[in-house]
């Protein structure tokens, strides 16, 4: 068995020669916390003899305090109690057998889901600034923009008109809480008030597809439209699969442009689960209470109340038609879009006369004909003849690859060749919105690799500027890194097919496969935490706490059952900071995929291709999640002057 890799000063000493679990990330984070409050580097390989960790632990053991080791720049009398508590918390992260119980946490759960918060009406009033910013309204009620008290995150608060439909509302919350996917709007929590029902979700900045297509007048290239369609069908493919926590699949029941939201990069986010149905074991359901938008509704559902996965496929087919025509499905005095495409397909005339002139050029026609044909198949009256979401997704990906050229076909071959444990580890496993660069383009972007940023064990990183003035970091691997083709395939497949999406994780923007090994293009961050810690710049305690708290949220996200990823190399140099000192975790070279149940198989993404297997108790998940939640609560409450130290202590005992 090979030695665990990584900077030896951050490696969990108890796991240096063995498998590494999510607990190892907790250990590394504890060391980084010590570095954050002492501004000292954790030099030393033998924890029993010397090094930051052993010195700090000895200080606490002898004096019940680490005061003499704190960074003088922040060790004021006012800050000492906070620093002492962080020091103690960091030692709890590092110690082998310290386990935090989940009791005493303020974040309450709904249906055993610890990620769904219950808000009071007072909370909602604060979050929305007394409902001051209305961003949408409809037959259901109104939507307001807000900001969470304990975070910088924007949220959307959906306030329902009818407060007497509690059972229906809770069913919507229950279903929405089950579906966690990068192309589904994230539900944060809910509020049951005296006269109102409210749901809190993430805020999506660019409105909905209905507005973008029919009211905005903005240019939407074919590639962007394909990306929107792929994102939406990826969400459907996920909902229609049998891996959700309940063992059921979900039929959305109301797919239409107004329920497809668009973020800042025009990535699709499916919203509004008010009409969704949970299909136990995939069995068809019947209902007499038919609801939804008739223009997008499956005719079989409309006439017989029959709900299946194919009901969503029909609705998605209509959305596809709108995407390529930029016409509403039914317009006053205009054509019936579905009938027009069906007739054109039946007559073998092609769809050119029905397409949006902005994208209907010769270069795009083959792709557009393929999308049109797929859409027509989705809206066939006989539901049994409609493709399923998986098939639709594959065909759209093939069209996307064809549009972008031969480089994408290389990626698809890599994807097919990748080890099954890598491919099966992600719920999406799809090509994301990564741009394909040519080597010549990257030389222009980096001015022939002239601005060097950093060097790692197997790569150099260079600063670059894209055509739209976006700054990027270009990660170019050394030639010797091509140690084995299997590792090469696994790494590219994991990075491209299974990206971890989080606001505090560096985003992959593109890839160049002309280079061998590949070159990766990431969003740019000005510097890393180590740069700031070990220079003479002023570094206030409040800013350090904010960085630590947001980093802990990333690790909690990685360790969740949905992502199931051990980072493996948590240390300050791998925590990048943008111009606003917002942390971005990077460097997933040593990451490990796993699934959390009573017995877990962990697949190492390593050069030797080794797969190590070991049993992990569910206690590990409880340990890390409780640790990070307590940590975040402590950080933010201490900043706000609240005396929460006793709460954290109780959670540690």
d(CA 571, CA 585): 9
Strands of 575-577's sheet in order across: 527-528, 575-577, 583-585
Distance between start and end Cα atoms, the chain: 36
Q: Does residue 429 sit in helix, strand or coil?
A: coil
- Dihedral angle over CA of 157, 162, 164, 167, nearest 10: -60
Q: What tokens appear for 455 in the block?
A: 């060097």
- Number of Cβ within 10 Å of residue 545's Cβ equals 21
Crossing angle of helices 365-378 and 337-347, in 10° steps, is 110
DSSP 164-203: S-HHHHHHHHHHHHH---TTBPPEEEEEE-SS-EEEEEE-
The contacts found for 362-371 with CB under 8 angstroms, 24 or more apart, are 364/222, 364/403, 366/402, 367/222, 367/226, 367/399, 367/402, 367/403, 368/222, 368/324, 370/395, 370/399, 370/402, 371/226, 371/229, 371/320, 371/323, 371/324, 371/396, 371/399
* Closest alpha carbon to 212 in 201, 200, 202, 221: 221
Angstrom CA distances, 144 to 48, 136, 162, stand at: 55, 7, 16
Question: CA 443, CA 133: separation in Å to the nearest integer?
Answer: 46
The reply, when asked if residue 625 is annotated as ligand binding, is no
Cβ(525)–Cβ(574) below 8 Å: no
User: How many CA atoms, within 13 angstroms, populate the side-chain half-sphere of residue 569?
Assistant: 18
Q: DSSP of 461-530, one letter per residue?
A: EEEEE-TTS-EEEEEEE-GGG---HHHHHHHHHHHHHSPPP-TTBPPEEEEESSSSS-EEEEE--SEEHH
Three-state DSSP class for residue 419:
coil
Which residues partner with 286 through β-bridges? 306
Residue 150 annotated in active site: no
Choose the catalytic residue: 25, 71, 123, 254: 254
Strands, E, within 501-628: which ranges?
Answer: 508-512, 519-523, 527-528, 565-566, 575-577, 583-585, 592-594, 601-604, 611-613
Helix (H, G, I), strand (E, B) or coil at 613: strand
Could you list the residues known to form a binding site for ATP, using ranges: 158
Which residues are known catalytic residues?
Answer: 254
């Amino acid at each position: 068995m090979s030695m665990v890799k990584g900077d030896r000063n951050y490696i969990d000493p108890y796991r240096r020669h063995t498998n590494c679990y999510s607990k190892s990330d907790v250990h590394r984070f504890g060391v980084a916390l010590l570095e954050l409050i002492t501004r000292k580097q954790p030099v030393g390989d033998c924890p029993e003899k010397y090094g930051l960790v052993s010195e700090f632990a000895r200080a606490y053991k002898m004096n019940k305090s680490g005061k003499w080791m704190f960074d003088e720049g922040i060790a004021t009398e006012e800050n000492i109690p906070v620093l002492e508590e962080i020091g103690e918390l960091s030692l709890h992260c590092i110690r082998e057998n310290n386990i935090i119980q989940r009791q005493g946490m303020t974040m309450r759960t709904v249906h055993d889901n610890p990620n769904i918060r219950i808000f009071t009406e007072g909370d909602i009033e604060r979050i929305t600034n007394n409902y001051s910013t209305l961003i949408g309204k409809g037959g259901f009620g109104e939507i307001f923009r807000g900001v969470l008290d304990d975070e910088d995150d924007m949220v959307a608060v959906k306030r329902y008109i009818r407060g007497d439909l509690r059972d229906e509302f809770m069913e919507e919350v229950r279903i929405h809480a089950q579906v966690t996917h990068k192309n589904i709007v994230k539900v944060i929590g809910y509020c049951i008030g005296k006269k109102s029902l409210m749901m809190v979700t993430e805020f999506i900045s660019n409105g909905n597809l209905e507005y973008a297509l029919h009211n905005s007048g903005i240019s939407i290239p074919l590639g962007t439209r394909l990306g929107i369609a792929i994102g939406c069908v990826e969400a459907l493919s996920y909902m229609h699969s049998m891996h959700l926590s309940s063992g059921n699949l979900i039929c959305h029941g109301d797919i239409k442009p107004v329920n497809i939201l668009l973020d800042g990069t025009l990535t699709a986010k499916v919203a509004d689960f008010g009409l969704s149905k949970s299909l136990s074991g995939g069995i068809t359901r019947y209902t007499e209470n038919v609801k939804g938008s008739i223009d997008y509704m499956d005719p079989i559902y409309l006439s017989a109340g029959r709900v299946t996965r194919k009901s969503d496929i029909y609705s998605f087919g209509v959305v596809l038609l709108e995407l390529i025509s930029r016409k509403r499905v039914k317009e006053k005095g205009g054509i019936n879009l579905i009938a027009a495409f069906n007739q054109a397909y039946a007559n073998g005339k092609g769809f050119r006369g029905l397409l949006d002139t902005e994208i209907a050029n010769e270069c795009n026609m083959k792709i557009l004909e393929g999308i049109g044909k797929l859409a027509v198949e989705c809206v066939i009256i006989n539901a049994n003849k409609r493709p399923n979401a998986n098939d639709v997704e594959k065909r759209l990906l093939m069209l996307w690859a064809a549009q972008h050229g031969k480089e994408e076909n290389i990626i698809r071959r890599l994807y097919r060749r990748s080890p099954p444990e890598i491919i099966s580890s992600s719920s999406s496993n799809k090509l994301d919105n990564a741009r394909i660069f040519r080597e010549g383009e990257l030389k222009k972007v980096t001015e022939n690799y002239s601005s060097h940023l950093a060097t790692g064990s197997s790569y150099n990183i260079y600063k670059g500027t894209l055509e739209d003035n976006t700054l990027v970091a270009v990660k170019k691997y050394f030639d010797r890194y091509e140690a084995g083709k299997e590792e090469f395939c696994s790494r590219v497949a994991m990075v491209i097919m299974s990206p971890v999406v989080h606001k505090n994780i560096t985003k992959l923007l593109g890839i160049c496969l002309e280079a061998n090994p590949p070159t990766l293009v990431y969003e740019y961050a000005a510097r890393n935490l180590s740069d700031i810690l070990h220079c003479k710049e002023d570094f206030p305690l409040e800013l350090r706490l904010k960085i630590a708290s947001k980093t802990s949220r990333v690790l909690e996200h990685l360790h969740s059952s949905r992502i199931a990823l051990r980072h493996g190399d948590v240390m300050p140099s791998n925590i990048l900071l943008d111009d606003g000192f917002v942390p971005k975790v990077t460097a997933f070279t040593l990451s490990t995929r796993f699934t959390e149940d009573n017995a877990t198989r962990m697949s190492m993404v390593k050069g030797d291709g080794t797969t190590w297997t070991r049993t992990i108790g569910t206690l590990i998940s409880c340990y890390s999640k409780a640790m990070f939640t307590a940590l975040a609560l402590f950080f933010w409450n201490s900043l706000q002057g609240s005396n929460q130290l006793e709460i954290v202590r109780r959670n540690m005992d």
